Amino acid sequence: MKKANILLLTLALFPALQAQEVRKVQFGDNQNAGITYTLPSTTVKVKATAVRTQIKAGEFAPYAEKYLGITDAIQDNQTEWQITSVVLTPSAVADTSRTYHVQLNEKTALPKFYLTQEGFLWSINREPVVAQTGIPEEKAVEEKKKNTLAGFNVMTEELLRAGSKAKQAEIAARAIFRIRESRLNLLTGEVDNLPADGASFQLVLDNLEAQEAAYMEMFTGKTVTETFIREFEYEPKEETRNLTLFRFSRHLGFVDADDMSGVPYQLTVSIKEDTRKVPELVDAKGRKLPLATGVAYTKPGKCSVLLTSQGKTLGEGVWQMGQFGHVEFLPATQFADRKAPASAQFDPLTGAIMLYLGN
């Protein structure tokens, strides 16, 4: 087969396939007259979202009540973490013990194989369709940022030359009152030169607000909130009881699974259907038949998955898992039939048949 006949199709050509990149290969694509692929082993992926809130005291906090009448100004720095969401989803890694090569005759019709980016078999003779997981996609929310200034941006020469913190606080407080007076005069029209238009007027107001906020932070402190996302993945081999996947601390955030400063988040995987034992095929006389060959796929087992922390259930589900099943085969010649070629789609998470149209 000439190299020019090799087709490589990616997501750009299939906009509907948004979950994974697809690679379509024709029979004979540098595969020694065949196609090589690996069956998947199903994994548990945990996506944890946490928020870190840092409360920082202002440098003039002790003088907030004296100069501004503020009685609840932050006096001490604090950091607190909180997990806001935990999402459990199935994923897959390659099961290298289940790698197969489909051998076909080049003189027959050439099947079209679609492989995932990881090398899992996705479909034959039909474009693959992404299965719906029922898990809503997260959408990024664009926040409108205000015009902000840091404290050092409003440090005047008078303030910097002040001999003590108390004197600096007094100067900063006077600056706040001057800004408020300027804004009031602007709003009431008691200024000599008003801004030329509405946009300029709003710009002046925004700048005054930013300056006041910068001075106020020196007294009241500020709160900084950041979001962190961590992903953990576990490949079950046998039943798992209360496996500590990670730990989380209110003060330190995500910590190692063996770090006792954090609360454990534990995973339990229970086998509901174990189909790893391959059924023994015999003929009418009870004689054992030879192992089949062809296009390998998985008859997956089934497991329940549970994520808990401190006695609370955070996520659960019942999933098929390829590693708890056995391998069966479809006759490869059916996909190379010139008159009515068979077609099939497979689950890239388990290796199971999702759709099969054939003789």
Over residues 165-187, mean pLDDT: 90
State how many domains the chain has.
1
- Confidence band, pLDDT 50/70/90 cuts, at residue 17: very low
Q: Is residue 190 part of a domain?
A: yes
| Cα-only R_g, the chain | 32
Q: Is residue 326 part of a domain?
A: no
When the pLDDT of each residue in the chain is averaged and rounded to a whole number, the result is 82
Q: Which pLDDT value is given to residue 163?
A: 79
pLDDT higher at 25 or 133: 25
In the predicted model, is pLDDT for residue 289 greater than 60? no
Q: Are 332 and 113 in contact (CB under 8 A)?
A: no
Q: Which pLDDT value is given to residue 13?
A: 27
Q: Which pLDDT value is given to residue 9?
A: 27
In the predicted model, is pLDDT for residue 184 greater than 60? yes
pLDDT higher at 31 or 51: 51
Q: Which pLDDT value is given to residue 281?
A: 60
Q: Is residue 174 part of a domain?
A: yes
Report which listed range, 8-22, 102-116, 141-155, is most confident. 102-116
Q: Is residue 212 part of a domain?
A: yes
Q: Which pLDDT value is given to residue 18?
A: 36
- Confidence band, pLDDT 50/70/90 cuts, at residue 302: very high
Q: What is the pLDDT of residues 225-268, one digit of tens each?
A: 999 999 999 999 999 999 999 999 999 999 999 999 999 999 99
In the predicted model, is pLDDT for residue 70 greater than 60? yes
Full domain range(s) for residue 160 = 59-70+145-220
Over residues 187-214, mean pLDDT: 83
Over residues 210-220, mean pLDDT: 90
Q: Which pLDDT value is given to residue 259?
A: 93
Q: Is residue 322 part of a domain?
A: no
pLDDT higher at 283 or 218: 218
Q: Which pLDDT value is given to residue 185?
A: 85
Angstrom distance (rounded) from CA 137 to CA 78: 33
In the predicted model, is pLDDT for residue 107 greater than 70? no
In the predicted model, is pLDDT for residue 160 greater than 90? no
Q: How far is CA 148 from CA 134, 173, 208, 211, in A?
A: 40, 18, 10, 8
Over residues 320-338, mean pLDDT: 89
Q: Is residue 169 part of a domain?
A: yes
Amino acid at 25: V
Angstrom distance (rounded) from CA 133 to CA 4: 37
